[in-house]
Chain A
Amino acid sequence: MKIRINKKLLTVFLTFIAAVIVAILIFPIYVIIISSFSPRTSVFQPFEFIPRETTLKVYSDVLFSPTSHFVPRLVNSIIVSLLSLAITLILVIPSAYAFSRFKFAGRNSLLYGYFAFNQFAGGMGLAALIALYAILNYFNLLNSLVILALIYASGGVPFNTWLLKTYFDTIPKDFDEAALVDGASYLDVMFRVLLPIAKPGIATVAVFAFMGSWSEFIIAQTILLSDENYTLPLELYQLLASPATNWNRFAATSILYAIPIVVVYMLAQRYLQAGLAMGGVKR
């Protein structure tokens, strides 16, 4: 009996701790949300937990005011992210299929090379960035959205290939073989059989590729030289860096910037669930 009471108390205590931590984590988001609806340009003096006045004017300013750069930056971000997503899928899907299904010369070296790249790429960050800048400068390729998308995509290729290869590995080879005997070519096997089955894996890769490009700041900051090529993360930075930070404009831009991420997550989730419910091979 004693033990049970203690357990209950423990649960209450832990829940309380968790709630506090969650509150601390959510607080900045809350501040951003309320300030995006507040007519006052300063959030903190004095801080209002529940704002007395609310307005949508900030959002309409961000979206429609001629002084706002939001829409062109959004277009840039969309171009870069979708392009990088497309390049990622075009590169990753066939190579993951090949790594999962075929034995070829250099297969293992490549796979381990990819693995090593994943481990060390982060650590080489700054040096790699400087080298990248020098190379692009030499070939006169700086300040290009297409090049930026290419860099994003190629940076993710090793990880995403591993991820999708691992997913393909979980799909029984029986499907490939049944299709081959049914008269399919290897391309048929990939497009008509494996890709539809691997939708959840592909959705995961797509989410990673899109998010990675959408939220990347440092490389964009380094290679995009002119304002008109800036992506949204750079726009956010500029809003912060201006001498008199307009906090509610920054807040509204942040919220708008986050919406696509939420949407992509929700779309991907539907695919993931559909994938989990499938089953054709009896185990």
Chain B
Amino acid sequence: MARILLKNLTKRFGNVIAVNDLSLEIKDKEFLVLLGPSGCGKTTVLRCIAGLETPDEGEIYVGDTLVNGLPPKERDVAMVFQSYALYPHMTAYENIAFPLKIKGLAKSEINQRVKKVAELLKITHLLNRKPKQLSGGEAQRVALGRALIREPKAFLMDEPLSNLDAKLRVYMRAELKRLQKDLGITTIYVTHDQVEAMTMSDRVALINQGILQQVGPPEELYQHPHNLFTAGFIGSPPMNFIDCSLSREAGKIYLDAGTFKLPLENYRAEALKERNIGEEFVLGIRPEDIKLEKKEKKDSIQGQVFALEPLGAEVIVDIKIGETIFKVRENIFFKAKVRENIWLSFNKNKIYIFDKKSGAAL
């Protein structure tokens, strides 16, 4: 049990910078998710911590120990691989016992600890099976058992649920989260699935192209994205974006999207006061912060129903305004026909404005 500290971590593969000057502290007992699109460098961060890659720059601390020069076995972290990597020639029991056997513990102690872990993970009945006789979920548990048995300082998990079918994945999500809380082991969990990140983590560290975009509790990333990337990555369906330019009319500030003009109020107007007319911004609004009306209202925007995507409890309505499609989350009882004219009103307290050049939120 320990915190993990990354200081200015940089890792290059040839000309590609996989991890770029990343600093991050993972607190003791915390469940931190490294989130990002594939190839963003999140797995490389994990492998650097495990000692499977050597960083080009920066420092890695596990607990209070600088582990940069240490081989994996001296770092006291356990890793669960996406492929599980269960040793095919060993039974589940031997797989779980492997880390202890390497350490040279007595047989009786190994036996006792394997039994304990197996009970915890409810895999006692699988212990005599070889990996090929295990289903995906079972193999997953055995792999977890092999990580658990060492009682390491930290768990590193590389997309451990991505090989499971959808139903089992949802089940294992809660299971893993509960297990982590019960054991209180610092965990770094890599995934590209923002739903996993949102549902499981204490904090999310969002990475894109090797650069840390934002780190914080999932609801913070959702409510207060620092930039366009975070805003677009977190949330499903994702936030709606439309390019705008600044305009002024009769002392009021508007965002002009071409097809519609949105008047700005309060602090949003304040924030853009110093900006020049014609400067470019991106307007963002989440699907649930748009209301649909059948009739025109003040400040509402006209669009046309493009498609309906019912999800059971709710429906995602795609609305076409000009050439842009807006996704709107509505109650399942909302009825509309394709090509029907419809009016959108934005919840003005929930709009996001980003600088188009830098992508930073205002």
Contacts and interface: CB of A to CB of B under 8 A. Distances in A.
Interface of A: 172, 174-175, 177-185, 188, 192-193, 196-197, 199, 277-283
Given A178-B146, A181-B78, A181-B79, 14 more contacts: A172-B83, A174-B81, A175-B87, A178-B81, A183-B72, A183-B103, A185-B73, A188-B102, A197-B87, A278-B88, A280-B132, A281-B83, A282-B83, A282-B163
Contacts of B146: 178, 182
B102 A184 contact: yes
B110 to A, nearest CB: 13
Given A180-B52, A181-B52, A197-B87, A279 B131 contact: yes
Contacts of A180: 51-52, 71-73
Contacts of B132: 277-280
B139 interface: yes
Interface of B: 50-52, 71-73, 77-79, 81, 83-89, 98-99, 102-103, 130-132, 136, 139, 146, 150, 156, 163
Q: What 6 pairs across the A-B complex have the smallest Cβ distances?
A: A280-B88, A174-B85, A178-B85, A196-B89, A280-B131, A182-B99
Nearest to A186: B71
Contacts of B131: 279-280
A181 B102 contact: no
A282 B139 contact: yes
A177 B150 contact: no
B88 A279 contact: yes
B87 A280 contact: yes
Nearest to B47: A177
A177 B85 contact: yes
21 contacts: A172-B85, A174-B83, A174-B85, A177-B79, A177-B81, A177-B85, A178-B81, A178-B146, A179-B87, A179-B98, A181-B50, A183-B72, A184-B73, A192-B102, A199-B89, A277-B132, A278-B88, A279-B88, A280-B86, A282-B136, A283-B83
Q: Which of B88, B131, B156 has the most A CB atoms < 10 Å from its CB?
A: B88
Contacts of A281: 83-86, 88
B140 to A, nearest CB: 10
B161 to A, nearest CB: 12
B13 to A, nearest CB: 13
A247 to B, nearest CB: 49
